[in-house]
Amino acid sequence: MILLGQLVILIIITLILGKISKKLGFAQVVGQLFAGIIVGPALLNWVTTGTTLDSLSEIGVLLLMFTAGLSTDMGQLKQHLKGASLTAIWGVVVPLILFVVVAIMLSYDFNIAVFWGIVFAATSISITISVLGESGQLGSQVGVVVLGAAVLDDIIALLLVGGYVLVFGGEGLGISTLLPIIVFLLGAVLNRMVNTTKMTQIVNVFGEWTLYPIFFGSIGLHISLAGLKDSWPLIIILTGLAVGTKYYGAQWGARMAQLDKPAARAIGAGMVSRGEMALVIAQIGLQANIIAENIFGDMVIVIILSTIIAPLLLRPLLKQL
């Protein structure tokens, strides 16, 4: 009963703040992320993370990814494969190199510095999908390139984690880590085989009133303000690095593929969000004793801040297309 009450509170507050955020001209997900911070351990402590909530959040990610796959035209993705590939490669290379350099300058051990780079090489498409969907851009050139590049980014990041484990040690990957990408591809293949319009509408309505708010709200639940007084300068530096490396790295890749400047800027902004994939990789690092809890805490805050900033950057750029 307590768990059910927490779920109801999380869903209701997330939906309300999402609508308020949209009314104020921001992306709906910005309000939903703040809802988790407000009702979670950081402030009111009405809702706490747990096995059931985490499981529902993971199902929400899978449903969101499946819906994105249903809305993705694989033929159009093939048409923009060069743009997606160059965007993905530069979107990985730039944060991977700069995070390692900056972490070493901040006196982190080399293996920890490399792990910082891998975590922030990933891209979360779930937040971007929501903004693209709101703006009617999921099937556009920008939408297709961002979705394709984000999937490639996550595959590369997961391969980098596997390589890291081989070199530095730690535990390997589970199938659950790959599920978001598998589900996305399943939806995309299904879209090629049958008419999925009705299915997409039904799944979206169900998700928007249940699992999506649980997922977006639960991201905010991971924020802790304890110890923030000591670590905020580092968090500001790393957040700026997280936003800048993806925005410019992905944008350079898009420009190399001969996309025009407005589209390249929107693609760069669309790649900024780290969200669930970076959280998954950071969690792997914590469970495998690659990183300590204090480093994990700083990572989570930077991941969430970049996730909040991403739709704020993306939405106005989409209006310029």
pLDDT string in tens for the chain (321-residue length): 488 889 999 999 999 998 998 788 666 777 888 899 899 988 899 998 888 888 898 898 888 878 877 876 666 667 778 888 999 999 999 999 999 999 999 888 898 899 999 999 988 777 777 778 877 887 788 888 888 888 788 778 877 887 887 787 665 555 566 677 788 788 888 888 888 788 888 888 899 899 989 988 887 887 777 766 778 888 899 999 999 999 999 999 999 998 999 999 999 999 998 866 787 778 777 767 778 777 887 888 888 888 888 888 988 898 887
Instruction: Using alpha carbons, select from 149, 143, 148 the residue that is nearest to residue 128.
Output: 143
Predicted local confidence at residue 20, as pLDDT: 92
pTM: 0.77
Which pLDDT belongs to residue 124? Answer: 77
pLDDT tens profile 130-186: 778 877 887 788 888 888 888 788 778 877 887 887 787 665 555 566 677 788 788
| pLDDT at site 233 | 87
Contact indicator for 237, 305 with CB cutoff of 8 Å = no
End-to-end Cα, the chain, rounded Å:
48
Supply 25's token pair.
């001209």
When divided into structural domains, the chain yields a total of 1
Q: Look at residue 254 in the predicted model and tell me its pLDDT.
A: 94
Containing structural domain, residue 307: 2-319
User: By C-alpha distance, which of 265, 62, 45 is closest to 145?
Assistant: 265
3-class SS string, the chain:
CHHHHHHHHHHHHHHHHHHHHHHCCCCHHHHHHHHHHHHCCCCCCCCCCCHHHHHHHHHHHHHHHHHHHHCCCHHHHHHCHHHHHHHHHHHHHHHHHHHHHHHHHCCCCHHHHHHHHHHCCCCCHHHHHHHHHHCCCCCCHHHHHHHHHHHHHHHHHHHHHHHHHHHHCCCCCCHHHHHHHHHHHHHHHHHHHCCCHHHHHHHHHHHHHCHHHHHHHHHHHCCCCCCHHHHHHHHHHHHHHHHHHHHHHHHHHHHHCCCCHHHHHHHHHHCCCCHHHHHHHHHHHHHCCCCCHHHHHHHHHHHHHHHHHHHHHHHHHHHCC
Q: What is the CATH number of the domain that holds 176?
A: 1.20.1530.20
